[in-house]
A and B are shown apart, each in its own frame.
Chain A
Amino acid sequence: MTILCVRFQLPPAHEAALPGLLGLLEDFTPVVEALPPDRALADLRGAERYFGRDAVELASVIRVRALAHHGVDCMIGAGPGPMLARMALRDARPGVTRAVTEEEAADFLAEKPVAALPGVGTATARTLCEYGLDTLGRVAAAPLSTLQRLVGAKAGRELHEKASGVDRGRVVPNGISRSLATERPFSRDELNPDRHRRALLSAAGELGARLRALDKVCGALTLTVRYADRSSTTRTRTLKEPTAHSAALTRTAYEMYEALGLQRARVRAMSLRAETLGPAEQASHQLTFDPTDDKLRRIEEVADRARAKFGPHAVMPGTLAA
């Protein structure tokens, strides 16, 4: 019962506040894993001995500090492993930390729907429910071989263990915000490819600027197109080289968009997400004899400085200004 899962009650679209809050957890333990947008796992095994309090007591301290320092309330679940901590969080309320011990784990899980289990996505959950395995209790009761026939050998074994309350996971410290995202909504059903491209240009420009401000590069770009009927299409492409260069991001975004070949689709929003972020200094860059690329990068640098001085709208591509 030494792992905490904390959900900060952030207002929507404030994931930028998460790094600061993680710092708060790092005051207690170095083993903190961020679960964007608003959750984090913390391993308090060492901290319990150091502070002389058990995890539930520490949870109260964390809540008080979050409120005092950041004005953010939080809910906390505690358990012997990350999976149980996360499951416990579902039952927690602000001020009431839900703790699950190893002994009561199986009973605690029995009544939970399968979809609640970390690692069970909508597809797996649908498969399991189709066969009447809608609660974790039923999953635990089903023969292991049957589960493996349903969802595959490895996934079946893991599922069976997790459902029986066996939690083999560890908290893996990670850097924060492994991805950056931005969205461009349309006020009505938009079919015009020019407007779509303009939205992508603006979104890619913003991502590039944000990446460069963080001194990061991204290795992959994901395009999500949302339609009027609430469905969406998602495409991901790995960049030739990790970059934060707006022109390169825009080019990749355009390529993905063209590949969709949209004609009559009623687009309501387009969003871009930069993924697999890494530090900029470790990124490689293929030099060319073509001076254009070099010029673009220098212009970008200048534009960034101008924006830093005169605000984000000081410099922008001509098509967006119109």
Chain B
Amino acid sequence: MPGFTHLHTVSGFSLRYGASHPERLAERAAERGMDALALTDRDTLAGTVRFAKACAKAGVRPLFGAELAVEEYEPVRQERRRAPVRGGAFIDESTPRVTFLARDGARGWADLCRLVTTVHTAADTPLLTWAGNHGDGLTVLLGPDSDVGRALTAGRPDRAARLLVPWRERYGDALRLEAVWHGREGTGPGSLRLAARTVGFAAEQRVRPVLGNAVRYADPGQGPVADVLDAARRLVPVGAAKELDSGEAWLKDAPAMLAAAERIVEAAGFRRDTAHRLLEQTRATAAECLVDPADDLGIGTVHFPEPHLVGAGRRTAQRTLASRAAAGMLLKGYDRSAKGRLYWERMHQELDIIAHHGFASYFLTVAQVVDDVREMGVRVAARGSGAGSLVNHLLGIAHADPVEHGLLMERFLSKRRLVLPDIDIDVESARRLEVYRAIIGRFGTERVATVAMPETYRVRHAVRDVGAALSMDPADIDRIAKSFPHIRARDARAALEELPELRALAGEKDRYGRLWELVESLDALPRGVAMHPCGVLLSDASLLARTPVMPTSGEGFPMSQFDKDDVEDLGLLKLDVLGVRMQSAMAHAVAEVERATGERVDIDAIAPGDPATYQLIRSTETLGCFQIESPGQRDLVGRLQPASFHDLVVDISLFRPGPVAADMVRPFIEARHGRAPVRYPHPDLEEPLKGTYGVVVFHEQIIDIVDIMTGCGRGEADRVRRGLSDPESQGRIRFWFAQHAAARGYDAETIQRTWEIIEAFGSYGFCKAHAVAFAVPTYQSAWLKAHHPAAFYAGLLTHDPGMYPKRLLLADARRRGVPILPLDVNKSAVAHRIELVSDSGVWGLRLALSDVHGISEAEAARIADGQPYASLLDFWERARPSRPLAQRLAQVGALDAFGANRRDLQLHLTELHRGARGGGGGQLPLSGGRKTASAGLPDLSSAEKLSAELGVLSMDASRNLMDDHREFLAELGVASARRLREARHGETVLVAGAKAATQTPPIRSGKRVIFSTLDDGTGLVDLAFFDDSHDACAHTVFHSWLLLVRGTVQRRGPRSLSVVGTAAWNLAELVELRAEQGLDAVAARLAEPVPEAGEDSTGGRRIHLPTGYELHPWADLRPAGQEPSQVRKLWHQSPGSAG
């Protein structure tokens, strides 16, 4: 029996509707003997590429389509319901839905893309209007949810016939009626009677019927998952609004569909063998839909913007590129330099390679974008392997001179590399959207679209949605969701078994019934779609015929429904425009210096090798500096002691998971400080390896080594390098390498030793071009920190680029002697500013209005524009702050200048608010001219002021919050971060502070180590917790903000120090106990037994990385607990919740 073809199948890309991934559907179709399968997701084609690839793998022919919401031809007037006082209205899903299949090759696909794009131009929900409802290359299935189907459900064949007319007019012969039987009762969708009516109606109207199964999931038994998805979509508990899923909407095989067909035709009053004709019609419809993934979707072909748009005029793109590169050569003066010949040769080589691939338009396009961005006055820099191309440098795309830094074109593009080259450009994050608008303006919406990024279910969201569907207590749901680290949903039960910080939750896991099973079944299903933060598609004018586009929710940018991998497969040119906060921060800092002092700083032209900058870097006080601020990097910088730009490049390259895991760091440091000799496997290799003391750090070095040893050319060498990460091809390469190196006359021992190096480090090295591109802002930011600290912090606080909470940056500023000036409505601007502190002549940092919780941009601008204010009344009338905002400003002392204490000010504000509302106009009691009179209310206590600052600004602006606990910490004998610098290796100490960042990165040993950083006002303490302490500490470390930790000091160098934790307590709880019940209560709390360290609960399970190293299954995740930057409360939080 030939297989059945399902024409109506949705995958998980139908948000909160489909329950199976497209890959799973394709696999199951192949297993069940189907030759073809259609994917018809709701209002989207986002799953198309993944589906096409999965089908190719499974050997099934893919059909492409979409199930679209269609405007009703004769809209039924609906009575308006009263707006609910609570809980919101029901989600309206009454729009009829019709399935469209692309039939006619590329034309069909273009029609489908156009239809989907049209659907998303509707005002609020996706809707296909009748004006856009046409297409010659489409087949249309009118199923039970279409308007015709609904009329049949209602028992109105006359109305159905009337509604069929417009469909028939538009689609004629390509119209089908779809019968679906899900074994339901009655006459609704999925009922036998409706299916029979559909078949009968089709015969009567002479429209061909087809059989479908409206598939929502691949396997039987997934009905409950569909129920949960329905509930999550409609925002109601399971079973509240409509009947439950029938459990029949799976990918049924041919015999099951034949049985269904027989039941339907019999019920319609035909002979049983008519069923074969129904199936035959279905098969014929499927056979007509011929869209080839390669030819018609355009997978594997490349489309660049037309040359005339990128400045080529009437010349070819290649000619234009060549002349622009030559112009760049003259402009930058390389032709006059000593190595001029070298530059010319390299340029011509690169141009040859570009011509070979026909990528000239691509380079011109990127150059055009970069030129436009620069013209807007936005800082822009290229990153990625593109920086290795001299042509890029000459066109002004990349800053660093690749010849000088020894960067290779071949790492980026060679005759042997077939994939699309990839140039990423960094722009200021704050102006990223402006840049997007400029690109769209330059090339037009028909050529530009941003890229989608599906948001998929991970454990926390899955718990929330399933919990709400099962009507669990919202407080329970919240608690459970927050206790999980950010892991995949399918690992929920395994994590409960194995993670020490989830032990308490694991104890109650049986209370929640089916929750865990359903949570795991939602794994990785898309639950929403967002704009990818950096990808922009650039194409020729045919873009809209090849990709469906929808507007993004906020800014209304056109966004392709395909994600970044799909886009690559489709051969659409993607330019990554990354918003880098550090670029914004530096731009702000430079602008501040100019505003306040009149001095113009050009940080792109600062002198290299500035001693103060390197001294700062070597002191490891690099908080806020690009790329070198993390605890691990501070440790590495301390050991490496960089002294030149090249050292920074090496430092950045070494601090990658690969090199850290492969322990390339230790030999490098030993050799650098002369503790170990520098060795080369062969004198010929000294040239590439000299700069890194014989240790392989960069990809470029591997390429050079392979090239030198085998003479195969760098293009081939790069291909070989790529092959190294795959164990299979590694064996072949080894043989090939030995053979060719021997042929070049190298002895066996040299070959052996070289191969060992290549094998060990080959696949982890870092692309030097990347590292050079990173090191530039690293040096620039460190320079700013060394020379203009106040402006630097102003930039950092305004654009918040780093991994640390703002309050930590503030603490750092305080430590480095930058005065912190409080918020003041008469002095603060929208952004952070620098201000000369008059008596000392030091530049101070004035806090910004934009950091006030809940302030809108308009309000901040209004307050800043109206300065100065003479009195509270003046401020209230001209700045017109909202009442909560004014109260918050009063709380943090921004209104202190108007006299009276902060509480009195609050009272005055309330009355002004009341007066304004009453229309009477408030008459303020004034005393002594403009000062506000006291109302006799008690002022905020010092602790209350600090608490208000944390609550309103998320920063302890007036002093460090740990200062309040000095006495208690002294009682406990806690070592401060400053004192810790003198501590001996192996000493046991107590440390305390506010948690700044917590990570569980991948570690060479394959263990899970929790790294955390504490700030205690005198400095930072880096902590590490190894797995023997996790049972005792993990929960506390993840879920508390203030920590007290007992640990052992570890020293690895003069500047490298960390504390290995053995016990941890929630300091906030202890402080409370001390204040309320005295030291004995604290002692009792400390005496409480801690859980014994158990066996490795994962049972030794490890993830084996392709590089041969092992990863702990729960490492490298965002851990549970609240982000420290989000903490707004000062004190104790209930121990059960994570925030």
Contact = CB atoms under 8 A, between A and B. Distances in A.
Interface of A: 130-133, 138, 141-143, 145-146, 149-150, 188-192, 225, 227-231, 233, 258-266
B165 interface: no
B748 interface: no
Interface in B893-951: 903, 906-907, 911, 935-940, 944
Interface stretch (B109-117, B232-240, B413-421): B232-240
A143 B420 CA distance: 76
A131 B473 contact: no
A149 B87 contact: no
Contacts of B235: 264
A261 B907 contact: no
Contact of B85 (A141, A143, A233, A266): A233
A266 B906 contact: no
A131 B84 contact: no
Interface in B239-275: 240-241
A150 B84 contact: no
Interface in B58-108: 81-91
Contacts of B241: 191
A259 to B, nearest CB: 8
B84 A133 contact: no
A143 B935 contact: yes
A190 B237 CA distance: 8
Contacts of A261: 81-85
Contact of A189 (B91, B237, B944): B237
Contacts, number: 89
A149 B907 contact: yes
B936 A142 contact: yes
Nearest to B90: A263
A132 B906 CA distance: 11
Contacts of B89: 263-264
Given A142-B936, A260-B86, A131 B236 contact: no
Contacts of B90: 263-264
Given A131-B903, A131-B907, A150-B907, A188 B237 contact: yes
A194 B205 CA distance: 41
B611 interface: no
B84 to A, nearest CB: 5
B474 interface: yes
Interface of B: 81-91, 234-237, 240-241, 471, 473-475, 903, 906-907, 911, 935-940, 944
B237 A146 contact: no
11 contacts: A130-B906, A133-B937, A225-B86, A229-B474, A262-B84, A262-B86, A263-B87, A263-B89, A264-B87, A264-B236, A265-B86
A143 B938 CA distance: 11
Contacts of A132: 903, 937-940, 944
A231 B237 CA distance: 18
Contact of B474 (A149, A191, A228): A228
A248 to B, nearest CB: 23
Contacts of B85: 233, 260-262
Given A189-B237, A192-B240, A146 B86 contact: no
A133 B237 CA distance: 44
A191 B936 CA distance: 51
A6 B110 CA distance: 82
A257 to B, nearest CB: 11
A131 B940 CA distance: 9
A190 B907 CA distance: 44
A191 B906 contact: no
Contacts of A228: 471, 473-474
B909 to A, nearest CB: 11
Given A141-B938, A146-B937, A189-B471, 10 more contacts: A131-B903, A133-B938, A142-B938, A145-B935, A192-B240, A227-B86, A228-B471, A262-B84, A263-B81, A266-B87
B471 A266 contact: yes
Contacts of A189: 237, 240, 471
A190 B939 CA distance: 48
A130 B86 CA distance: 28
B474 to A, nearest CB: 5
Contacts of A266: 87, 236-237, 471
* Most chain A CB atoms below 10 A, which of B82, B234, B475: B82
B907 A191 contact: no
A145 B935 CA distance: 8
Contacts of A259: 82
* Most chain B CB atoms below 10 A, which of A130, A189, A225: A189
A225 B87 CA distance: 12
A264 B236 CA distance: 6
A142 B936 CA distance: 6
Which are the 8 A-B pairs with shortest beta-carbon distances? A265-B87, A261-B82, A189-B471, A191-B240, A143-B936, A188-B471, A189-B237, A265-B86
Contacts of B906: 130-131
A230 B985 CA distance: 54
A231 B242 CA distance: 26
Nearest to A138: B938
Contacts of B471: 188-189, 228, 266
A2 B179 CA distance: 85
Contacts of A230: 474-475
A230 B86 CA distance: 12
Contacts of A143: 935-936
* Most chain B CB atoms below 10 A, which of A143, A190, A191, A264: A264
B86 A142 contact: no
A230 B237 CA distance: 16
Given A188-B471, A264-B235, A146 B84 contact: no
Contact of B236 (A191, A225, A231): A191
Contacts of B937: 131-133, 142, 146
Given A143-B936, A146-B907, A260 B84 contact: yes
A229 B474 CA distance: 6
A254 to B, nearest CB: 14
A171 B234 CA distance: 55
Nearest to B940: A132
Contacts of B475: 230
Contacts of A192: 240
A149 B938 contact: no
Contacts of A141: 938
Contacts of A260: 84-86
Contacts of B935: 143, 145-146, 149
* Most chain A CB atoms below 10 A, which of B911, B936, B937: B937
A265 B936 contact: no
A132 B945 CA distance: 12
B793 to A, nearest CB: 33
Contacts of A142: 936-938
* Most chain A CB atoms below 10 A, which of B82, B86, B235, B240: B86
A229 B476 CA distance: 10
* Most chain A CB atoms below 10 A, which of B911, B938, B944: B938
B924 to A, nearest CB: 12
Contacts of A227: 86-87
B859 to A, nearest CB: 21
A149 B923 CA distance: 13
A229 B911 CA distance: 34
A188 B473 CA distance: 9
A194 to B, nearest CB: 12
A265 B84 contact: yes
Contact of A146 (B87, B88, B936): B936
Nearest to A130: B906
B88 A263 contact: yes
A259 B82 CA distance: 8
